[in-house]
């Protein structure tokens, strides 16, 4: 059982707008301070998610990214500055998060997530937020989180569209995993990259903020989880849609067969 920390006077002031919420309160805020969250990617989705999680007081934030800041990133990856061009994204993110909330411990993993390191890295956290930009990493992360029984909040964006869901299939019936929804990765030609098709910068903020919200909800056990539901967002139409998704008995990751 996690021992919750006592909050200082400064922390009570910093998180006052959380503490006054009946759903959070002092105990809930202490849980956030004790929590450890890993964010995959310090890019379009990771940038806003990391900043809101740091501001919320998540005690330990991990960020993994092996890329460096490029000028073309700055249109949406708001955690980085023009002066950070050429700097490792994980280190640039660490600097920004330290300025937002110096009480947060930031672990910068300047490496690529692979089958060789995924369990070592993921095992040190309570919840994982996936902001990766390729299906190979998404499947790798989905399988590892299932094996390690870690909650996974995953989002994706392209052009003017976004989607988000939460995966915790290890909790049993009614909780699908990523492979239940997407059994096989589409061909590279079927899904262009953001560099090829473009992406609205502010869309990353919308979905990244939603990720941070769902991470906080999962840590606190409040509200309705996105597990079993896929939310899609059309920025041009200004509309959200919800798709119910079921656990597949023949799923290679979480299926009963």
Report d(CA 62, CA 123) in Å as an integer. 12
Would 192 be classed as within a structural domain?
yes
Whether residue 146 is contained in a domain is answered as yes
CB 171 within 8 A of CB 227: yes
Angstrom distance (rounded) from CA 150 to CA 252: 18
Domain count, the chain: 1
Judge whether residue 242 has pLDDT over 80. yes
Distance between CA 248 and CA 251 in Å, rounded?
5
- Residue 1 belongs to a domain: no
Q: Is the pLDDT of residue 187 over 80?
A: no
| pLDDT more than 90, % of the chain | 88
pTM over 0.85: yes
Tokens of 73: 């990133």
Say if 255 falls within a structural domain: no
User: Which two three-digit tokens encode residue 244?
Assistant: 């119910």
Run of H or E residues at 232? strand 229-234
Confidence grade of residue 193 (pLDDT, cut at 50, 70, 90): confident
CB-based contact 208:48 (threshold 8 Å) = yes
Domain that holds residue 235: 12-244
Supply the mean pLDDT for the chain.
95
64: domain CATH number is 3.40.50.720
Q: Has residue 121 been placed in a domain?
A: yes
Check: CB of residue 135 under 8 Å from CB of residue 186: yes
- Quick check: is 130 in a domain? yes
Residue 19 domain flag: yes
Identify the pLDDT of residue 43.
97
- Catalytic machinery residues: 194
Output Rg (C-alpha) for the chain, integer angstroms: 18
Residue 51: inside a domain: yes
Q: In 3D, which of 179, 164, 107, 88 has the Cα closest to residue 130?
A: 164
């Amino acid at each position: 059982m996690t021992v919750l920390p006592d909050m200082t006077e400064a922390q009570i002031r910093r998180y006052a707008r959380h503490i006054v919420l009946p759903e959070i309160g002092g105990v809930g805020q202490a849980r956030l301070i004790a929590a450890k969250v890993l964010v995959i990617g310090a890019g379009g989705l990771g940038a806003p998610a990391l900043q809101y999680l740091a501001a919320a007081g998540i005690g330990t934030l991990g960020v993994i990214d092996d890329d460096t800041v490029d000028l073309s990133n700055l249109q949406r990856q708001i955690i980085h500055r023009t002066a950070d061009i050429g700097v490792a994204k994980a280190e640039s993110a660490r600097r920004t998060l330290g300025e937002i909330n110096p009480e947060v411990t930031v672990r910068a993993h300047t490496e690529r997530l692979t089958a060789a390191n995924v369990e070592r890295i993921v095992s040190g956290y309570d919840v994982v937020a996936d902001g990766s930009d390729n299906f190979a990493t998404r499947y790798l992360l989905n399988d590892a989180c299932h094996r390690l029984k870690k909650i996974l909040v995953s989002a994706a964006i392209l052009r003017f569209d976004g989607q988000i869901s939460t995966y915790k299939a290890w909790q049993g019936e009614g909780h699908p995993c990523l492979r239940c929804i997407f059994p096989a990765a589409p061909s590279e030609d079927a899904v262009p990259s953001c560099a090829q098709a473009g992406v609205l910068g502010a869309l990353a903020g919308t979905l990244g903020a939603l990720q941070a919200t769902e991470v906080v909800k999962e840590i606190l056990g409040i509200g309705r989880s996105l597990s079993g539901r896929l939310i899609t967002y059309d920025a041009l139409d200004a509309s959200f849609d919800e798709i119910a998704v079921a656990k597949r008995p023949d799923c290679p990751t979480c299926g009963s067969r």
